[in-house]
Amino acid sequence: MSVVLYNTLSRRKEPFQPLEAGTAKIYCCGVTVYDYCHLGHARCYVVWDTVRRYLQWRGYDVHYVQNFTDIDDKILNRARKEGTTMEAISQRFIDAYHEDMARLNIQAADEYTYATHTIDGIKRLIGELENKGYAYAAGGDVYYKVRKFDGYGKLSGRKLEDMQAGASGRVAGGDAIKEYPFDFALWKGAKPEEPSWDSPWGAGRPGWHIECSAMVRDRMGDTIDIHMGGGDLTFPHHENEIAQSEAATGHPLSQYWMHNGMVNVNGEKMSKSLGNFTTIRQLLDAEDGLDPMALRLFLSQAQYRKPVDFTADAIASATKSWQTLKDGLLFGHNYGPQLNWPDSDVTLNPENDAVQRFQIAMDDDFNTPEAVAVLFELAKELRRQGNLLVHEGSIDADSEGLQQQWHTLICLAQVLGIEATADNIAVQHDGPSDDEIAGLIEQRLAAKKGKDFALADKIRDDLTAQGITLIDKPGGVTEWHR
């Protein structure tokens, strides 16, 4: 069985067959660094970190490269507003990016690339495109001739003729110097008081799309295995990357193209430029802030290609779900000594049914919702055993087998980047405390004795809704577990 993934380019799921057996060369589009990362970025990079971790777990030697766009009008605008430099703004938000992603347990890229460090490669690529007739200089800028590239539109499924008809001249956007409205800038002539670099076309700076093409080529060669990014980048950014790279090299830029669905706010993409965003820090550092792992778990509960909406309900339910999973992940810390569990390495038995089901789910285009469901089954059983131990003094499972299940849970959760650290070992439960539950059980018993069955049922239903199960035993005794 191999990993199967949805390729935007072919519009279907395909088995993953890397260029070189056992390795995966991956490039992911990074952030334009002029503000703090928001929940859309959290989703994007949690998704790609999970794909990367899973491929590693499946034995691939993954090489993962990601860029920072550190030259852009938006960065320059912010620098102007704050009376500082483009470099200072970029550095501040690059540092913030690393901090935020580390909190979400996102592994650092094997290599980070920066637009401003790739100027030579960018100029080389533009030169090649010009020599091959795909680029033309006009008014101090250099443009890409989209009509010359036969495959233009193959990724997004857009056709130039349709786009032109739909745009009815609007796309020209004042660019009277372009030969064709959809031609895009490879190089932008220098403007006064803006950073610029010398080039054969005059002083200027690179366009956005060319930086990724040049970075991939410089760091990874003509063709990579997987190119990733948010679905909003499919057109024009990735379409233009393909046009640039493939016209220059004559080879496919990437075998597979993967795109994550958007985090939306009231049906609209959360984005820095729209200003409708909540930053990762705002969410995590609020007074009743979300645990970073609850955020990661929440994101993993959605299929990566589907849109996600952050609502207050979604956040509350993420906290609850994380509590359940955390209880499972900390089971051995909390109860291992009482169960005389030997200190053994946390290992995985590949024959374990849970492992197999996890793998089947993840092999199918990284179906994390199904994979998370497997984690929950393990966690819920561990929690049930924990309650039995607390309330009855013993578990009703084979102790060695239970330890293996605990190890399985830890290992599989780690593949999704989800970990509970021992510093959150003091398990805190939402909802009623043990004493409160005991009190409610007494009230229920009294209600039953007084033949107020409606009240007795209500107490049970309320507890069930809070994840607490009551078990009536002979002799009027009621046991419970979370």
Of 27 and 406, the one with the shorter C-beta distance to ligand ATP is 27
Binder of residue 44, out of ligand ATP, Zn ion, none (CB less than 5 to 8 A by kind):
ligand ATP
Binder of residue 109, out of ligand ATP, Zn ion, none (CB less than 5 to 8 A by kind):
none
Taking contact as CB under 6 A, which single stretch among the options 170-178, 226-234, 346-354, 410-418 is the one that binds ligand ATP?
Answer: 226-234
**Which residue's entry shows tokens 């021992």?**
422
Binder of residue 212, out of Zn ion, ligand ATP, none (CB less than 5 to 8 A by kind):
Zn ion
Of 109 and 297, the one with the shorter C-beta distance to Zn ion is 109
Of 31 and 71, the one with the shorter C-beta distance to ligand ATP is 31
Q: How far is CA 315 from CA 101, 118, 276, in A?
A: 19, 40, 18
Q: What letter does residue 238 receive in the DSSP assignment?
A: I
Smallest distance from the beta carbon of 326 to ligand ATP, in angstroms? 26
Minimal CA–CA distance to 110: which of 223, 233, 28? Answer: 28
**By the rule CB under 6 A, 43 interacts with ligand ATP:** yes
Residue 29, annotated as binding a ligand? yes
**By the rule CB under 6 A, 41 interacts with ligand ATP:** yes
**Which residue's entry shows tokens 């499924």?**
157
**Which residue's entry shows tokens 């980070």?**
112
Contact predicate 388/482, CB 8 Å = no
- Give the footprint of ligand ATP on residues 67-96 (CB under 6 A): 74
Cα–Cα dist 424/67, whole Å: 34
Of 31 and 420, the one with the shorter C-beta distance to Zn ion is 31
**By the rule CB under 6 A, 296 interacts with ligand ATP:** no
Residues contacting residue 33 through CB under 8 Å, at least 6 positions apart: 68, 69, 70, 75, 89, 90, 92, 93, 94, 97
Of 67 and 408, the one with the shorter C-beta distance to Zn ion is 67
Taking contact as CB under 6 A, which single stretch among the options 26-34, 208-216, 383-391, 461-469 is the one that binds ligand ATP?
Answer: 26-34
Terminal-to-terminal C-alpha distance of the chain: 37
**By the rule CB under 6 A, 317 interacts with ligand ATP:** no
Contact predicate 253/223, CB 8 Å = yes
Cα–Cα dist 140/451, whole Å: 89
Q: How far is CA 136 from CA 109, 122, 210, 215, in A?
A: 35, 15, 14, 22
| 463 residue type, one letter | L
CB count in 10 Å sphere of residue 465: 9
Could you give the 3-state DSSP secondary structure of residue 385? helix
Binder of residue 232, out of Zn ion, ligand ATP, none (CB less than 5 to 8 A by kind):
ligand ATP
Give the β-pairing of 61-68 and 111-114: parallel
Binder of residue 217, out of Zn ion, ligand ATP, none (CB less than 5 to 8 A by kind):
none
**Which residue's entry shows tokens 């089954």?**
377
Convert residues 195-224 into a mask of x (bound to Zn ion by CB under 5 A) and - (unbound): -----------------x------------
Query: Which residue among 3, 9, 31, 325 contacts ligand ATP (CB under 6 A)?
Result: 31
Q: Where are the beta strands (DSSP E) in 87-182?
A: 111-114, 135-138, 141-144
221: left (phi over 0), alpha (psi -120 to 50) or beta: left
Residue 411, annotated as binding a ligand? no
Could you give the 3-state DSSP secondary structure of residue 135? strand
- Give the footprint of ligand ATP on residues 260-289 (CB under 6 A): 260, 262-263, 269-273
**By the rule CB under 5 A, 242 interacts with Zn ion:** no
Taking contact as CB under 5 A, which single stretch among the options 27-35, 46-54, 314-322, 356-364 is the one that binds Zn ion?
Answer: 27-35
Residue 188, annotated as binding a ligand? no
**By the rule CB under 5 A, 44 interacts with Zn ion:** no
CA atoms within 13 A on the CB side of 466: 18
Smallest distance from the beta carbon of 308 to ligand ATP, in angstroms? 8
Residue 237, annotated as binding a ligand? yes
Cα–Cα dist 298/310, whole Å: 10
Query: Which residue among 18, 189, 204, 229 contacts ligand ATP (CB under 6 A)?
Result: 229
Give me 99's structure tokens: 């901090």
Smallest distance from the beta carbon of 268 to ligand ATP, in angstroms? 9
Taking contact as CB under 6 A, which single stretch among the options 182-190, 245-253, 256-264, 294-302 is the one that binds ligand ATP?
Answer: 256-264
Give me 74's structure tokens: 């938006």
**By the rule CB under 6 A, 227 interacts with ligand ATP:** no
User: Residues within the annotated binding site for Zn(2+)?
Assistant: 29, 212, 237, 241
Binding region for ligand ATP (CB under 6 A)? 29, 31-32, 40-41, 43-44, 74, 229-230, 232-233, 260, 262-263, 269-273
